[in-house]
């Protein structure tokens, strides 16, 4: 039995705004400083996982565009569920490569886990509150 829960549309908007900020800022950072991203990938404990998918420099730039474009779409409520799915998928290799090798007590790992939780809210519920275009 599924119970309907009433939530404020404003709270959904505020959550979406707070969540999208990190993706937009990270995307801009990846595009402005791709050499720094490349270096972080190469120095990570699980750098082999990232290099399995391609050249670290290319991956940094590609992830920068994905984070910026879909972080902005997510913020605006344009295809919110699909934006959240693409951000979720992009965040998986970033978390494995950069965060996992630092141990379970590493704060940024748990920050990423919290991001996964926030994105899952929008993937599972697809709330349409304060969205520009959300099918």
pTM of the predicted model as reported, rounded to 2 decimal places:
0.92
pLDDT of residue 107: 83
5-54 pLDDT, tens per residue? 888 999 999 999 999 999 999 999 999 999 999 999 999 999 999 999 99
44-84 pLDDT, tens per residue? 999 999 999 999 999 999 999 999 999 999 999 999 999 99
Query: Phi and psi at residue 79, in whole multiples of 5°?
Result: 45, 55
């Amino acid at each position: 039995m599924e119970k309907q829960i009433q939530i404020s549309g404003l709270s959904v908007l505020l959550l979406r705004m707070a969540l999208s900020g990190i993706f937009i800022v990270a995307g801009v950072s990846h595009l402005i400083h791709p050499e720094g991203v490349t270096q972080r990938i190469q120095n990570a404990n699980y750098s082999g996982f990232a290099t399995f998918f391609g050249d670290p420099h290319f991956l940094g730039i590609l992830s920068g565009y994905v984070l910026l474009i879909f972080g902005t779409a997510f913020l605006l409520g344009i295809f919110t569920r699909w934006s959240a799915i693409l951000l979720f998928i992009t965040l998986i290799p970033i978390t494995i490569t950069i965060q996992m090798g630092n141990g379970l007590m590493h704060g940024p790992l748990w920050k990423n886990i919290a991001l996964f939780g926030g994105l899952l809210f929008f993937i599972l519920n697809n709330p349409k509150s304060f969205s520009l275009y959300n099918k």
